[in-house]
Structure 1
Amino acid sequence: MDTKEGGRLIFRSEVFAPARGPRRTPTGKVVAEPAREVPVHAEVDVLVVGGGPAGVAAAVAAGRLGARTMLLERHNHLGGLSTGGLVIWIDRMTDWDGRRVIRGFAEEFLDRLPKGALAGPPREAWGARDAATAAWWAARTAAFHGIVTHSPTCDPEWMKATALEMVLEAGAEILFHAWGAEPVMDGRAVRGAIFESKQGRRAVLAKVVVDASGDGDLFHRAGAASDSDTDERDIHHCINTSWLFAHVDMPRYLAWRAERLEEFSAFLARGKQEIGLFDKAFVSWRDDVALFMGPRLAGYDATQVDDLTEVEIRSHRLMLDHLRIYRRDAPGFEGATLMLSAPQIGVRHARRLRGVLSVTREMWDGRVHADEIGVSPSLAPKFANVSVPYGALVPERLDGLLAPGRHLSCDATSHSFLREIPQCWLTGQAAGVAAALAAGEGIEPRAVDPGAIRAALRRQGAYLQEAAHVPV
């Protein structure tokens, strides 16, 4: 990690930019598609497009406020990258003093997971700084800078099941196998979305749309401005497909890593020499299952279908290469077997909204926004907690739409943590609350009183700071 003052790259990790050929040459040809009428599938108050962490939180929050809510999801499950992408390591929800600052939906969701579906430090260990405890949890992705954090690893199937029940209990309707493709426009306002399905193109009309696609598909096609600047040396630019190995002995592997560091380093060097792209194994929610969240592939564009296809091919081949080498050379992996390759590709960054307000590096100074909708832990103990403003979800000019999740309005450095699962839960819950309030009052999302949003979020258990001394 590099937290040098003024630097833009905060996290540094090995990334891989393999040799690749040119992108597909455009044919220059087009096919004329005749105009057609699209059947209206449903009319609702709030339409949430995308059932990932932000979309699930938004649908639950809006439904609990009584809004007629529909959630569109292109896959057969909820949870997005936290489940289908195998991002089962849930990053920090505590600050560097051990206080749980990402609460509300996130807290309830994790508390509802059954025993055995979640592994991580007990509550009394959050914030611990003694070397032995921190070192033990650091090997299990739950301690950083010598401080134990609330960063559990979860069973993806139980996360899918829990998300499903929470959405249905909130009274929201779910539509699986429906890919939100185009916004329905009324002037400069979004009034629904067209989705692709086995029934063809159909539309859902809505008073407010929550774009929780992760890549900003709806707001981009509606004409909202966005940014896509990243640094290819930064892991947050990279794309890959994760996977799980079963029948492993992770405690034995971790002991080998810690006690025979030279052997472990030589193992990594041999793997890299043999296949070029080689990564470490991470813990999961079980000691007999290993998680691989890389190798992270740089130089690809998450909005280009040919790039996404190439990443999938490379990642799946790398999975087989890793299985062969780990079984041969890594203690604890002698009997390893393939368990699962992620059904969703691991995209970290595509577009970032240009919003009414953007979270920037300069805002990591402890300021509290008047329209704060949540608080994110900072990247390192030297930085204060980061206040997340409602304006970061509201497009500069586009009406009828909110954009929570990893495509919210922020700079590239702040995106490195605002894209994480807990922050997506945080901003998704806020978007659902705001969308329900806007629909109920018959006003645009930008006109909703931030005080009303904050009051509703508090009633739903969210953590908000009291002092709001920096006006928007």
Structure 2
Amino acid sequence: MRSVTRTEDRILTSDLFEKRDRTLPPRNGTGTHHEPARDVPVYHECDVLVVGGGPSGCAAAYAAAKAGADVVLLERYNHLGGLSTGGLVIWIDRMTDWEGRPVIRGFAEELLARMPAEAVAGPGPNQWGSQDPALAAYWAQRTAAFHGIVAWAPTIDPERLKLLSQDMLIEAGVRLVFHGWAALPIVEEGRVKGAYFESKGGRQAMLAKVVVDATGDGDLFARAGAEFEHDIEPADTHHAMNTAFMLGGVDMPRWLAFRAADQTRYMEFVQRGRSELGFFQAPYVSWRDDIALFLGPRQTGLSALDVDEMTEIEIRSHRFMASHCDFFRANAPGFENAYMLQSASQLGVRHTRRLAGVGRVERAQWSAGVPHADEVGVSPSVSPKFPVISVPYGALVPRRLDGLLACGRHISCDANSHGFLREIPQCWLTGQAAGAAAALAVRQGVQPRDVDVPALQAELRRQKVFLQAEAPAETENARVA
């Protein structure tokens, strides 16, 4: 175990658990087994198939439907929202810039605006961008102030978000398919034309004019032969995994008062936790004062592409949930009546693959603050040192593979930029861009790489997406390749 140091590029801190003792015995499989060829029934045909119902997939399906496409969303779980619901990542990261201007808008803004008031906790618009020390200190304890600046970074009720995401997509005309796991892309002559999926109905085919890979791990584009990167920083919290959990029956205001009152006592408490548990994870606030959120233990050295290692993470995390509940109940003010409320149904994966796209978001671009000619969204930067960061359409487009767009945490970027582009607001941003582009590709009868960019930007603006001023005419392109 070690603690990660906060830097300008890495604003999150956490213990990283590095214990290598494995619970599971090694596999004993060897050789191969022949699978006979077979005809696969076609389940459905559509304009746009979105694979994955996490934040990016929901935004993609909604945007494509709003742009007039016939859309199917295929999701392996029984709900929408991905890590923001089933993963219990209910703290939504910053959606405003350092002046308090909302830059993550469109689908994200509409979704949160429709949440019931009792299902969202966070500062009001009149406080966004405030540098008042008392206000910033208050919201810093509630994950909504950074570098002394208040931000729009709410915590939400995951069950309400599941229901609202579902209702919004149904209202938009999206066909939902739950309990279906995409197995392989259907590829003909370098073009993706759908996907085979497995369900209780067996293996079936979904045919589409454009496929949006919103799996989070690039499962479809990787299996279709697209280029990708998978370099990681093992000692970085942005590339660790965990299963989040919540404890109920707590008094969070009392805990926060203890944590703020005496840093010496608090650090003694932390050191005791590390000593007794082998790892310490401090709780985050939730949307309710009687529920505490734990986004750990963040574990390194294991891969979310290896089923045994994913299983290992789950086993460790469930044990940590029990040990943290016992320790906090015995030692932490406000946790005397705590109980294990819920562990996440989805593994908290931060990084596996990143698309090698026509365009890319890179660390070297952070300081310039120059909008890309094919900008499809704007992300808050990691610190006030940097301006907002332009996200290009080319980051969603494979270099060679046709018929497919990518969105979410596996878009084209360097490892450093991935640290913020994987967050839920940025997944909403890139998902909406991918969905709108997919619908335009179908409407225009072209491949996604040949979509008219000004028309795409106009559609995104129509959907209330925030884009910066138009790029200079001499640098504009009508396509990304």
Partners of 2:375 and 2:390 within 8 A in 1? yes
- The AA in structure 2 aligned to 1:314 is R
Shift of 1:26: 6.3
Provide the rounded CA distance (Å) in 2 between the counterparts of 1:386 and 1:26. Answer: 48
Partners of 2:17 and 2:300 within 8 A in 1? yes
> Does structure 1 residue 395 correspond to structure 2 residue 408?
no
> Does structure 1 residue 336 correspond to structure 2 residue 338?
yes
Provide the rounded CA distance (Å) in 1 between the counterparts of 2:295 and 2:448. Answer: 36
- The AA in structure 1 aligned to 2:343 is S
In structure 1, the residue matched to 2:453 is 450
Provide the rounded CA distance (Å) in 2 between the counterparts of 1:268 and 1:468. Answer: 50
Provide the rounded CA distance (Å) in 2 between the counterparts of 1:145 and 1:16. Answer: 27
- The AA in structure 2 aligned to 1:318 is F
Partners of 1:243 and 1:341 within 8 A in 2? yes
Task: Provide TM-score, normalisation by structure 2.
Answer: 0.95
> Does structure 1 residue 120 correspond to structure 2 residue 122?
yes
Provide the rounded CA distance (Å) in 2 between the counterparts of 1:159 and 1:9. Answer: 28
> Does structure 1 residue 432 correspond to structure 2 residue 420?
no
In structure 2, the residue matched to 1:190 is 192
Residues 332-361 of structure 1: per-residue CA shift (max 9 Å, x gap): 000011111000000000100000011000
In structure 2, the residue matched to 1:79 is 81
Unaligned 5+ segments in structure 2 are: none
> Does structure 1 residue 15 correspond to structure 2 residue 37?
no
Provide the rounded CA distance (Å) in 2 between the counterparts of 1:165 and 1:65. Answer: 18
Provide the rounded CA distance (Å) in 2 between the counterparts of 1:20 and 1:33. Answer: 35
In structure 2, the residue matched to 1:376 is 379
The structure 2 residue matched to 1:57, chosen from 51, 59, 66, is 59
Provide the rounded CA distance (Å) in 2 between the counterparts of 1:306 and 1:264. Answer: 37
> Does structure 1 residue 462 correspond to structure 2 residue 472?
no
Provide the rounded CA distance (Å) in 2 between the counterparts of 1:211 and 1:13. Answer: 30
- The AA in structure 2 aligned to 1:170 is A
Partners of 1:182 and 1:218 within 8 A in 2? yes
User: Number of aligned pairs?
Assistant: 469
Partners of 2:246 and 2:341 within 8 A in 1? yes
Provide the rounded CA distance (Å) in 2 between the counterparts of 1:288 and 1:2. Answer: 29
> Does structure 1 residue 418 correspond to structure 2 residue 409?
no
Provide the rounded CA distance (Å) in 2 between the counterparts of 1:80 and 1:406. Answer: 12
Partners of 1:12 and 1:233 within 8 A in 2? no
Unaligned 5+ segments in structure 1 are: none
- The AA in structure 1 aligned to 2:72 is M
In structure 2, the residue matched to 1:35 is 37
2:117 alignment partner, SS class: coil
Shift of 1:296: 0.4
Structural mapping, 1:292-371, within 5 Å:
292-364=294-366, 365-371=368-374
Shift of 1:11: 4.8
Residues 426-458 of structure 1: per-residue CA shift (max 9 Å, x gap): 010011100001112221000001111100000
- The AA in structure 1 aligned to 2:133 is A
Structural mapping, 1:263-302, within 5 Å:
263-302=265-304
Partners of 2:10 and 2:382 within 8 A in 1? no
Provide the rounded CA distance (Å) in 2 between the counterparts of 1:175 and 1:326. Answer: 40
> Does structure 1 residue 385 correspond to structure 2 residue 388?
yes
Provide the rounded CA distance (Å) in 2 between the counterparts of 1:315 and 1:459. Answer: 43
Shift of 1:9: 5.8
In structure 1, the residue matched to 2:409 is 406
Partners of 2:85 and 2:161 within 8 A in 1? yes
Provide the rounded CA distance (Å) in 2 between the counterparts of 1:200 and 1:450. Answer: 40
- The AA in structure 1 aligned to 2:171 is E
- The AA in structure 1 aligned to 2:181 is W
Shift of 1:392: 0.2
Q: Which moved more, 1:455-464 or 1:255-264?
A: 255-264
- The AA in structure 2 aligned to 1:444 is Q
Partners of 2:61 and 2:73 within 8 A in 1? yes
2:439 alignment partner, SS class: helix
Partners of 1:10 and 1:413 within 8 A in 2? no
1:45 alignment partner, SS class: strand
Q: Which moved more, 1:95-104 or 1:268-277?
A: 268-277
Distance of aligned partners of 1:341 and 1:12 in 2 relative to their CA distance in 1, 3 Å threshold:
closer
- The AA in structure 1 aligned to 2:273 is G
Residues 173-205 of structure 1: per-residue CA shift (max 9 Å, x gap): 000000011000111100000111001111100
- The AA in structure 2 aligned to 1:108 is E
Provide the rounded CA distance (Å) in 1 between the counterparts of 2:41 and 2:268. Answer: 61
Shift of 1:39: 0.7
In structure 1, the residue matched to 2:155 is 153
- The AA in structure 2 aligned to 1:29 is G
Distance of aligned partners of 1:285 and 1:57 in 2 relative to their CA distance in 1, 3 Å threshold:
same
- The AA in structure 1 aligned to 2:386 is F
In structure 2, the residue matched to 1:227 is 229
- The AA in structure 1 aligned to 2:15 is E
Residues 124-182 of structure 1: per-residue CA shift (max 9 Å, x gap): 00001011110100000000000000000000000001100110011010000000110
1:15 alignment partner, SS class: strand
Task: Provide TM-score, normalisation by structure 1.
Answer: 0.97
Provide the rounded CA distance (Å) in 2 between the counterparts of 1:290 and 1:445. Answer: 43
Shift of 1:2: 4.5
Provide the rounded CA distance (Å) in 2 between the counterparts of 1:115 and 1:70. Answer: 30
Residues 291-317 of structure 1: per-residue CA shift (max 9 Å, x gap): 000110011111110110000000000
Residues 213-255 of structure 1: per-residue CA shift (max 9 Å, x gap): 0000000000011111111121111000000111100000000
Provide the rounded CA distance (Å) in 2 between the counterparts of 1:23 and 1:350. Answer: 24
Provide the rounded CA distance (Å) in 2 between the counterparts of 1:303 and 1:155. Answer: 29
Provide the rounded CA distance (Å) in 2 between the counterparts of 1:316 and 1:71. Answer: 30
RMSD: 1.4
Provide the rounded CA distance (Å) in 1 between the counterparts of 2:423 and 2:161. Answer: 16
1:334 alignment partner, SS class: coil
Shift of 1:263: 1.8
> Does structure 1 residue 204 correspond to structure 2 residue 223?
no
Partners of 2:123 and 2:154 within 8 A in 1? yes
Shift of 1:3: 4.2
Shift of 1:19: 2.3
Q: Which moved more, 1:304-313 or 1:61-70?
A: 61-70
Shift of 1:64: 1.2
- The AA in structure 1 aligned to 2:271 is A
Moved over 6 A (4+): none
Shift of 1:261: 1.9
Partners of 2:10 and 2:419 within 8 A in 1? no
Shift of 1:363: 1.2
